[in-house]
A and B are shown apart, each in its own frame.
Chain A
Amino acid sequence: MNPSLKTTALHAEHTELKAKMAAFAGYSMPMSYQSLKEEVLTVRKSAGVFDVSHMGLIRVSGEQALEFLDYLLPNWVSQLPDQKALYSPLCNHQGQVLDDLIVYRLSAQELFICVNAANKENDFQWMQEVLAAKKFQCQMEHFFADYSLLALQGPESFAMINKIDAHLKIDDLDYYSFQKKEFMEKNCYFARTGYTGEDGFEIFIPNSLASNFWKKLVELGARPCGLAARDTLRIEVGFPLYGQEIHQDNTPLEAGLQWTVKWQKEDFIGKQALLEQEPSMKQIRLSLDKGIPRQGYAVYQNNEKIGVVTSGTFSPHLEKGIALAQIRKDINLDENNFSIELRGKFIAAQRHPKAFIQGGHK
Chain B
Amino acid sequence: MSQKRPENFLYTQEHEWAHIQNDDIAVIGITDFAQESLGEIVFVELPELGRHLNKDEAFGVVESIKSVSDLYAPVSGEVIAINEELTQSPETLNAQPFESWLVKIKMSNKDEKNSLLSADRYQKICEQ
What is A's interface to B at a CB cutoff of 8 Å?
20, 31-32, 35-37, 40, 228, 231-232, 291-292, 294, 313-314, 316, 321, 343
Number of residues on chain B facing chain A (CB within 8 A)? 11
What is B's interface to A at a CB cutoff of 8 Å?
39-40, 42-43, 45, 61, 63-66, 68
Are B65 and A291 interface neighbours, CB within 8 A?
Answer: no
State A321–B64 Cα separation when bound (angstroms).
Answer: 11
State A293–B75 Cα separation when bound (angstroms).
Answer: 29
Tell which of B39, B45, B61, B65 touches A313, judged by Cβ atoms closer than 8 Å: B65
Q: A292-B42, A292-B43, A314-B42 are in contact. Are A232 and B61 (CB under 8 A)?
A: no
Tell which of A20, A228, A343 touches B65, judged by Cβ atoms closer than 8 Å: A228
List the 10 closest pairs (A to B, CB-CB), nearest first: A314-B65, A314-B42, A228-B66, A37-B40, A292-B63, A36-B39, A36-B65, A292-B43, A232-B65, A294-B68
Are A231 and B66 interface neighbours, CB within 8 A?
Answer: yes
DSSP majority for the A interface?
A: mixed
B87 closest partner in A (C-beta)? A290
What are 10 A-to-B residue pairs whose CB atoms are below 8 Å? Answer: A36-B39, A37-B42, A37-B65, A228-B39, A231-B66, A291-B45, A292-B63, A313-B66, A343-B45, A343-B61
Chain A hits for B66, CB < 8 A: 31, 36, 228, 231-232, 313-314
Are A314 and B39 interface neighbours, CB within 8 A?
Answer: no
State A211–B63 Cα separation when bound (angstroms).
Answer: 34
Chain A hits for B68, CB < 8 A: 292, 294
Chain A hits for B42, CB < 8 A: 37, 292, 314
Chain B hits for A231, CB < 8 A: 66
Chain B hits for A343, CB < 8 A: 45, 61
Other 11 A-B pairs with CB < 8 A, given A20-B39, A36-B64: A35-B39, A36-B39, A36-B40, A37-B40, A37-B65, A231-B66, A232-B65, A292-B63, A313-B65, A314-B65, A343-B61
A37 closest partner in B (C-beta)? B40
Chain B hits for A40, CB < 8 A: 65
